Structure 1
Amino acid sequence: MILNNKIAALPLLIVIGLFILCGSTPQVYAIAIEEQVTIVFTSGMAEILLDRGQGGLGQLQTLLQSLRTHKKNVIFLHGGNALSPGILSMNDRGAHMITILNDLNPAAMALSKSEFAHQEDNLSLRTFEAGFPLINCNIYDPLTQGTIEGIYPHHLLQVGNMKIGVLAVVDPEVVSDYLTQRILAKNINTAVTRNTKILRDKGADIVILIADLNMDNFNANFSNPPVDIVLLDNLAGTPDFTQQGNSLFELKGHEGHAAVIDLDIVKNDSQTRWTATAKFVALNDYPIDPEIEKKITMYLGQIGDILHEKIGTTWTPLDTSRKAVRSGENAFANFTADTLREYYQADIALINGGSFRANKFYPAGSTLTSGDLLKELPFHNQAVKLKVSGKMLKLILENGLSRINEQKGRFPHISGIEVTYIPNNPPMQRVRSIHIKGKPVEPETFYTLVTLDFLANGGDGYEVLINAKRIVTVGKTRLLWEYVKNQIVKEETISPIIDGRMQALHP
C-alpha cells in the first residue's frame, strides 16, 4: 500500500501466499461508508492450446463465475500479454483472444509489450472489437500527442459506493523491442502522477496501477508512487506472488495462475482505509467452463489436424522454459540455428531467445508434433541473409548478452561460431572470444550471417544489424517453424545437445 504522508501505515502481516495489508488515502465524507471489493488479477494466457494439467482461460472463467456468484463486487483486471504470442495469433493477430476475453468480462486490460507484436494498427482494431477498455498512460502517438487510437489512458470504476481508478504502464523498451512503427514512450513517473491526479479529481477513492515491469524496473522509476495499490506483471521466473512495501504485489512467471485480492474499504469524513487479503490461485484446480471450452475447440478446429501431426522424435531432452532460452546456450535453439544456417549456406546464424515461446520441457523420447513447433516459434519471422564484419559481429553478440541477467529475449543463439563470454562483466564488455572453424574472427573480415528479419530491422536492440549489407531477403513464403519442421521430418529422430558453442566464463 502506498500511503499519503499524513496517514501512518498500518501493520503488515506476511504469510507465504497470503498477505494482510492496510492502507488509507485522504478523502472527505460526512459519514462512514463500507464496501467489500474482490480484485482478480492475471495476465498472459495468449496460448489457447494447453498441455495436460495447465490452467487457462476456461478455468479462469470458472473461477470468475464462482466469485461473482458468492461475492458482491468482483473486478477482473487483466495485465496484458494476451494478444500474442499464440498458435492462432499468427493468423488473426489476437482477434480470437478478444472474443474469449469478452466472455470473461474484464473491467479493464492493460497493454503489455506483447500487445505490440502485430503493430499499432492491428492493436487499434482489437480495441474496437473489445467490450472492455484497454488502458495505458505512458505510450503515445507523436503525430496526435495522444494515446493510440482506441486506447484509454485510465479508467474509473463505480463499485458499489466506491470509485476505483485503474491506470497502466508498459516497459518503454517496447518501442525498440517490438519495432513499433510510430509510438514513443513518456516518462513513467510523470505519466502515472498526471493520470493519478486526474482520477483523484474525478473522485477515485483508491487508485490501482498495473505495471508491465519487474520489481527492479519499478523501483528505478518510483520512490514514492502516488497510487494506492500496485500490481506488477512479471512473466519471468517460476510462478510466485510476492510483495514489497504495503500495497505492492508482484506476480512472477504466473501463466495459469491468478491473484485474488479481497478489499474491505471504509471511508469517512477524513480518509479512506482498506484492509486487503490476497492469495495466489492455480487455475488448474478449477474445471474448464464448457462454453469457453467450446469456443476454444472451435478456434483450434480452424487449423485442423496440423496440431497433432507427428513429425519426429527427440532422443535427448529439450528445455524451452523462459530461463533456459534467455540465459544461456540451449539445445533446441542450437538445432534451430543450425537448421537455418545450413539451409542458407551461411557462415553464421543468429536467433534471439525470445523467438521460443512454448515454455515447455520435452523428456528424451518425446514425439514432436507440428503443434509443438507452432507453439515454440509463433512469430511471422522471415530469414534475411547479411554480410557482417568481425567487428560488427562482436557488437551484435555484446547486445545479445547485455541483458542476460534480466532474461531478456535478445539472448543470442548461434550456429557456425564458438563464443566465450563473462556474464558478470559490465554490459557491452562481456564477449571474451569469437572463433569460426577454430580460428579467431578477424575484425575486418566479412562473414555471411542468416538471421530473422525482426533482428535485421533492429528489434531487441540489434540496431547494429540495420547497417549490415543485405545479400537477399530469403524465405518470404516460409516461417521459422517450417524450416525446423522440415528438418525434423527429414531426420526423423533428432538429438540436440548443448555443445559449448556459447560458453560462460566465471573467472
Structure 2
Amino acid sequence: MSISFRPLRPILGATSLVALTALPAMAETVKLTLLGVGDVYSYAEEDGRGGFPRLNAVARAERAANPNTLYLFNGDMLSPSLISGFDMGQNTIDFTNLVPFDLAVPGNHEFDFGPENFADKMKASKYPWAAINITKADGSAIEGLGGVTVKEVGGLKVALVPVAQDTSPEVSSTGDLKFLPTVDTAVEAAKAAREGGADIVVGVVQTNMENDRALMKSHAFDVILSGDDHTYATAYDGVTAYVETSVDAQLLTPIDLTVEIGDKDGKRTIKWTPAFRFIDTATVTPDPESQTLADTFTADMDAKLNVEIGTSETAIDSRRNVVRAEEATMGNLIADAMRAATGADIALMNGGGIRGDRTYDAGARLTRRDILTELPFGNVTVVTELPGSQVLAALENAVSQVEKGAGRFAQVSGLSFAFDAAAEPGSRVSEVMVGDAPLDAGKTYTVAVNDYILGGGDGYSSLGGGKIITGTGGGQLVANDVMAYVEKLGTVKPAVEGRIRKLGQ
C-alpha cells in the first residue's frame, strides 16, 4: 500500500488539472471527522464556556452532521474537581455515558483514587477504554483496558493508537501498574498499524508538548489528538495534523479529513486533506439532557458546600504559578492546618495538590466549597518520623523542577529554607531552619504530609521508610483539617513570612 498526502492549497492551474485527471476512475471520496477532547474536570461551565453539557451538544451535532465521525477522549476527567472529592469521578462517567466516546484513554488523573477506582469506572462506562502502554506489574494485560483499535468508518480502516503518559506513577496513585515509554511505544504501534493495512492512523495520547513534537516528527501518524498541557494548539506539517485539546472542553477543534480512496496498479491508495474547525463553546447551546443532570448535581453540591466556616483578614493566593514556585498564602494556611491538626514538628504540602488557581480578597468569607475546591483529591493527612537528612532530601525534591512549574514544589509549616534555582537539582537548598534551630541531619522530626507524597508521589521517595505515627486509617482528609482549622479560629490571616526564599534574585 502506498501512502501520499495532498497539500492544503486548492487544486488550481494546468499541472493540478493533469494530476486530477490522472486519478483512477473509480476513486471514492470520504469525509472523516475526528473530534478529540481531554482534561475535562468540571462538569459545569465557567464564564459561559466549557463543561459537559456544551461538550455533549457539540459531540451530538458532529455525529448528526457526519456519520463518519469518531469522538475520542485523550485523558483526565475522573479528578480533580469539587464533586470528585465526593463521588471519585462517577459524575464524569454519568455525563459521558449520555454521549459515549468511540474510545477513551486514561490520563494520570484517572488514577488519583487508585487503580481499583479506575477499574470500577471502566466497568461503569458505556464506551471502551484503551492504552497500549499500561500493564500489570508482571507485564500482563489489564482487564477491560484495550489496545490499538481499528474502526471501519466510511470504507476506511482507521487505527486508533491510545497512549497514556508514562510519568503517571510520579504524579498519581497508580499502584503497581507498569507504564511503558509514551513516545517509543506509540511510534512502534503506529508503524505496525500502518503495516497491518490501516488507511488512517490516529494517535489518541495524553502527554506533554515535548512528547507531542517527537510524535509528530516521527511521521508515523496521520493525526494526533493530545491532552495534558491544559492549552489549545493546532498544527499541520504536511504529513501529520495535530490538535492539543484545551481544558474543560472550552475550545474544540473537529478535524475534517477529505479522503480519496483510489487504486494504482492494483494497489489501494489513500490521499487526504485536513480542515480544522474552531469551536468556542461559549457559542454552543448546552445539551438539554446533560444540563438537567448538571442542574441536579449543582443543587446537591450547593446544599452541602455553601456553608461559611470563617473569614480571612488577609488576601489569599492559590494561583497555580504561585503555589508551584514560591511561598503562597494558601500554601501556608494549608500546611499550618496540617501541623495544627497533628502536632507535628513540620508539615509539607505539594503545590500540585492545591487546585483553586484563584485569589481571595482580604475580608473574604471562606466556605466549605472554597476549601474543597482547593483540595479536591481526597488525600489524608499522615504523620511520619524522619531524620533531618530525609527532610532535606524532600526539600531538594520539592525544588528540583521548579523551573518547569512542577507540582512537587512544597508549601511548608514549621520550617524555612532558601533555594537557588540556578544550581544543579539536588544541590539547591540551603539555610534550612526548623523553628529557630538549624535542621539537624541526625535528629528525628515528626513530619505531617499527605498520603500521596508519603507514598512517593511527585518524586517524594525520600519520605518513605520512617515510623508512621498516624497512617491513612487514623488520619483526616487534608481538606477536613483545613476546614476545622479555619472554623476553630474563626478569622485567619495567612501571610508570606519568608518561609521560602529564592536566592539569586
TM-score over 0.5 (shorter chain): yes
| 1:267 counterpart SS class | strand
Partner of 1:181: 175
Shift of 1:127: 1.6
Question: Which amino acid letter does the alignment assign opposite residue 171 of structure 1?
Answer: Q
Aligned equivalent of 2:20: none
Q: In terms of Rg, which structure is larger?
A: 2
Query: Aligned-pair RMSD on alpha carbons?
Result: 2.9
Q: Name the residue aligned to 1:497.
A: 495
1:147 touches 1:153 (CA, 8 Å); kept in 2? no
Q: Which one of the candidate residues 244, 247, 254 is aligned to 1:251?
A: 244
Seen in structure 2, the aligned counterparts of structure 1 residues 29 and 352 have a Cα distance that, compared at 3 Å, is farther
Please give the alpha-carbon distance, in whole angstroms, between the structure 1 residues aligned to 2:217 and 2:226. 15
Distance 1:34 1:252, change over 3 A: closer
1:337 aligns with 2:331: no
Q: Distance in 2 between matches of 1:444 and 1:29?
A: 79
Question: How far, CA to CA, are the matches of 1:278 and 1:364 in structure 2?
Answer: 45
Q: Give the 3-state SS of the residue equivalent to 1:467 in structure 2.
A: coil
User: Aligned match of 1:268 in 243, 246, 262?
Assistant: 262
Rounded to whole Å, the distance in 2 between the matches of 1:408 and 1:366 is 29
- Corresponding residue for 1:45? 40
* 1:362/1:31 CA distance change after superposition, 3 Å: farther
In structure 1, the partner of 2:353 is 355
Whether contact under 8 Å (1:105, 1:132) holds in the other structure is yes
2:163 to 158, 166, 169: 169
- The corresponding residue for 1:19 is none
Asked if the contact 1:110/1:134 (under 8 Å) is kept, the reply is yes
Structure 1 distance, partners of 2:197, 2:364, is 57
Identify if the C-alpha distance between structure 1 residues 394 and 195 changes in structure 2 by more than 3 Å, giving closer, same or farther. same
Which residue of 2 is the match for residue 412 of structure 1? 410
Aligned to 1:23: none
Q: Which amino acid aligns with 1:433?
A: E
Select 1:389's aligned residue among 382, 387, 390. Answer: 387
Distance 1:243 1:334, change over 3 A: farther
Structure 1 residue 461 corresponds to structure 2 residue 453? no
Write the deviation string for residues 375-399 of structure 1: whole angstroms up to 9, x where unpaired: 2211222222222222211110111
Residues 241, 280 of structure 1: 8 Å contact kept: no
Equivalent residue number for residue 437 of structure 1: 435
Greater displacement, 375-384 / 44-53: 44-53
Q: TM-score, normalised by structure 1?
A: 0.87
The alpha carbon displacement at 1:351 in A equals 0.6
Task: Please tell me whether the aligned partners of residues 48 and 87 of structure 1 are also in contact (alpha carbons under 8 angstroms).
Answer: no
1:157 aligned to 2:154? no
Structure 1 residues 12 and 473, CA, compared in 2 at 3 Å: closer, same or farther? farther
For 2:75, the aligned partner's letter is G
- Aligned mates of 1:53, 1:500 — CA distance in 2: 39
Question: TM-score, normalization: structure 2?
Answer: 0.87
- Separation in structure 1 between the aligned mates of residue 111 and residue 435 of structure 2, nearest angstrom: 39
| Aligned counterparts of 2:354 and 2:325: Cα–Cα separation in 1 | 13
Q: Supply the distance in 2 between the matched residues of 1:204 and 1:333 (Cα, whole angstroms).
A: 50
Deviation, 1:335, is: 0.7
User: Which 10-residue stretch deviates more, 341-350 or 190-199?
Assistant: 190-199
Q: Is the CA contact 1:29–1:267 (under 8 Å) kept in the aligned structure 2?
A: no
Q: Residues of 1 paired with 2:366 and 2:69: CA distance?
A: 41
Name 1:92's counterpart in structure 2: 87
- Contact 1:383–1:475 (CA<8 Å) still a contact in 2? no
CA contact (8 A) 1:137 1:147 kept: no
**Counterpart pick for 1:148 among 132, 137, 142:** 142
**Deviation of the 1:279 alpha carbon:** 4.3
Task: Identify if the C-alpha distance between structure 1 residues 226 and 452 changes in structure 2 by more than 3 Å, giving closer, same or farther.
Answer: same
User: Alignment partner of 1:380: what SS?
Assistant: coil
Letter in 2 for 1:240: Y
Aligned to 1:214: 208
Cα–Cα, structure 1 residues 132 and 252, in superposed 2: closer, same or farther, change >3 Å? closer
2:120 to 125, 135, 139: 125
Match of 1:73 among 68, 78, 100: 68
Aligned residue number for residue 232 of structure 2: 240
Return the alpha-carbon distance in structure 2 between the equivalents of residues 217 and 200 of structure 1. Answer: 21
Quick one: distance in 1 between partners of 2:386 and 2:280? 47
Give 2:372's match in structure 1, choosing from 374, 378, 383.
374
Report the equivalent of 2:98.
Answer: 103
**Structure 2: runs of 5+ lacking an equivalent:** 11-22
| Alpha-carbon distance, 1:29 to partner | 8.9
Contact 2:314-2:363 at 8 Å conserved across structures: yes
Separation (CA, whole Å) in 2 of partners of 1:66 and 1:118: 33
Quote the Cα distance in structure 1 between the aligned partners of 2:472 and 2:119.
Answer: 30
Counterpart contact for 2:233–2:245, Cα < 8 Å: yes
Tell me the matched-pair count.
Answer: 487
Q: Could you tell me which of 264, 283, 286 is aligned with 2:284? A: 286
Q: Judging changes above 3 Å, is the alpha-carbon distance between structure 1 residues 367 and 439 closer, same or farther for their aligned structure 2 residues?
A: same
Q: Secondary structure at the match of 2:254?
A: strand
Q: Is the 8 A contact 1:243 1:249 kept in 2?
A: yes
